[in-house]
Amino acid sequence: MKLNTRAQSAQHPHNNSPIVLVHGLFGSLDNLGVLARDLVNDHDIIQVDMRNHGLSPRSPEMTYPAMAQDLLDTLDAQGLEKATFIGHSMGGKAVMALTALAPERIDQLVAIDIAPVAYQVRRHDEIFAAIKAVTAAGATSRQQAAALMRQTLHEEGVIQFLLKSFIDGEWRFNVPTLWDCYEEIIGWQTVPAWDRPALFVRGGQSPYVTEAHRDALLAQFPQARAHVIAGAGHWVHAEKPEAVLRAIRRYLANDAG
């Protein structure tokens, strides 16, 4: 399916690959805006709402092969032969799944704080509980929603992140499908080795990419390089945007073509 997008043209003449920015679970195309605002200086930028998020179509299916096909359909709709893909969390897995579907359509690949593995820990049950509480109470304003969520969630940053998708008393993500497909979202089907340089950026305090994931990561991405951002957690691009952008720009420059 073709995804809802926001496209921005580079501010300076260039021959760089366009960049597709892919958000994570409960997100929207605004989430990687801090990266878009910098990279648009010399790259055309496409930000996407993933299926069941934002203004993109709804579907009962939420597998990574399906999400990768969405990215491919969106490239086709934009008339693009190739692009560089930068994905955070769930979006990073969708980008990695694209290497199995259409490796020739990927110029460069950056995965932010995610590994190509099936996670065994359910990290989002409290978030689902908070979201469902807002719906059940019939909250109509962000203020009401925030008060309800604070009964379950204790990280204000997470609450504010979720509220970006609470518009006119409705969630902009498909809560029932995300709940039903949660095992798929934290799961993973191993992809064939993608023998091109890839950048994995992780937060030094995040549990999502650790030494335990090293072998699985290198088996699928043998030319991967890791860049650890000290003092950052899972939302590393929001916490340390300058450090993340430095790492991305170095990778894009060194591995162009």
- The three-point CA angle 236-239-245 to 5° equals 65
- Rounded to 10°, the helix 125-137/142-149 angle is 130
**142 and 118 Cβ atoms separated by less than 8 Å:** no
Structure tokens at 66: 């399906």
Rg of the chain's alpha carbons, rounded to an integer?
18
Active site residue 154: no
First to last CA, the chain: 28
Strand partners, 83: 106
Distance CA 204, CA 9 (A): 33
| Of 23, 53, 124, 234, catalytic | 234
Active site residue 59: no
| Of 89, 124, 206, 227, catalytic | 89
Distance set, CA 178 to CA 2, 90, 188 (Å): 19, 12, 16
- The three-point CA angle 211-108-248 to 5° equals 65
Q: What residues are labeled active site?
A: 89, 234
